[in-house]
């Protein structure tokens, strides 16, 4: 049932619209409007542009973000009992799993390396978002978002270019943990930081690998230049409540 909106949605907003209508209809037919209203309150934390809004603000307008939006809606469907195929993760508490995920901050790790560490996901939203549920399916979910860069390579003898990166093992871009707001629960990997700030991410997010004092000097220069300072985004990172 939940996969049907994905068949017709090519963007995150269209998925949210289709899945939202389906969820509203199911709740009406089952006379569960109050539960529906309570469950959808969490969508307000993403802002006026819907669930896709923070992702576009951080990672750019170019992505469709269907998997990310689908993961958020899947959690709501599951909480209302409309997604029975979710298997809780065994063996780790929420704090233990969050601690392991925090280790990915500023590191690069591929999808194939995740399962040996964390076990299989409880639910997959497409190919690019893995969802982990600790305890009951109605508990808050943890999300891992993967992404691929498009890499065109000339195919000798064929006279064409082929996109080789989409076939490869994708990199983890970010982790989303339960928190009071979107940014407070966001962990960016090294790849995620580059996607957010570019290769000069260490100017905004000081790192021990950067030369001492250099990042601070570059930030001071940027702060004096309105064309740069107004474009600088907020510092992101997981801040436990």
State the residue for tokens 């969820």: 23
In terms of C-beta density within 10 A (0-12 exposed, 13-18 middle, 19 or more buried), how is residue 211 classed? exposed
Residue 24 lies in a domain: yes
Residue 3 lies in a domain: yes
Express each pLDDT in 119-161 by its tens digit.
899 999 988 999 999 887 778 899 999 998 878 889 899 999 9
Residue 48 CA to residue 29 CA, distance in Å, equals 28
Residue 234 has pLDDT above 50, yes or no: no
Residue 7 lies in a domain: yes
Residue 224 lies in a domain: no
Q: Domain limits at 32? A: 1-85
Residue 152 lies in a domain: no
Residue 168 CA to residue 55 CA, distance in Å, equals 23
Inter-residue contact 50 to 13 (CB < 8 Å): yes
Read off φ and ψ for residue 77, nearest 5 degrees.
-60, -40
Residue 79 lies in a domain: yes
Residue 110 has pLDDT above 70, yes or no: yes
Give how many domains the chain has, as a whole number: 1
Residue 198 lies in a domain: no
Residue 150 lies in a domain: no
Residue 212 has pLDDT above 60, yes or no: no
Give the model's confidence band at 236: pLDDT under 50 very low, under 70 low, under 90 confident, else very high: very low
Residue 103 CA to residue 100 CA, distance in Å, equals 5
Average pLDDT, integer, range 47-74: 90
Residues in contact with 18: Cβ distance below 8 Å, sequence separation at least 6, in sequence order? 4, 5, 8, 9
| Predicted local distance difference test score (pLDDT) of residue 111 | 95
């Amino acid at each position: 049932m939940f996969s049907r909106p994905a068949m017709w949605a090519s963007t995150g907003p269209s998925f949210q619209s289709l899945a939202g209508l389906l969820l509203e209809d199911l709740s009406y037919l089952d006379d569960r409007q109050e539960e529906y209203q309570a469950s959808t309150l969490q969508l307000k934390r993403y802002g006026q542009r819907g669930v896709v809004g923070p992702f576009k603000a951080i990672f750019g307008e170019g992505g469709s973000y269907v998997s990310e939006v689908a993961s958020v809606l899947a959690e709501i469907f599951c909480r209302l009992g409309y997604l029975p195929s979710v298997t809780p993760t065994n063996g780790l508490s929420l704090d233990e799993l969050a601690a392991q995920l925090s280790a990915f901050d500023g590191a690069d790790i591929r999808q194939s390396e995740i399962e040996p560490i964390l076990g299989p996901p409880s639910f997959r939203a497409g190919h690019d978002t893995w969802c982990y549920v600790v305890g009951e399916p109605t508990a808050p979910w943890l999300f891992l978002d993967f992404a691929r860069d498009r890499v065109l390579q000339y195919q000798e003898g064929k006279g064409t270019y082929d996109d080789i990166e989409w076939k490869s093992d994708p990199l983890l871009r970010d982790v989303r943990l339960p928190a009071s707001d979107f940014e407070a629960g966001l962990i960016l990997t090294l790849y995620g930081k580059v996607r957010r700030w570019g290769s000069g991410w260490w100017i905004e997010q000081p790192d021990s690998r950067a030369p001492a004092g250099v990042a601070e000097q570059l930030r001071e220069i940027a702060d004096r230049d309105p064309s740069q300072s107004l474009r600088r985004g907020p510092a992101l990172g997981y801040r436990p409540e």
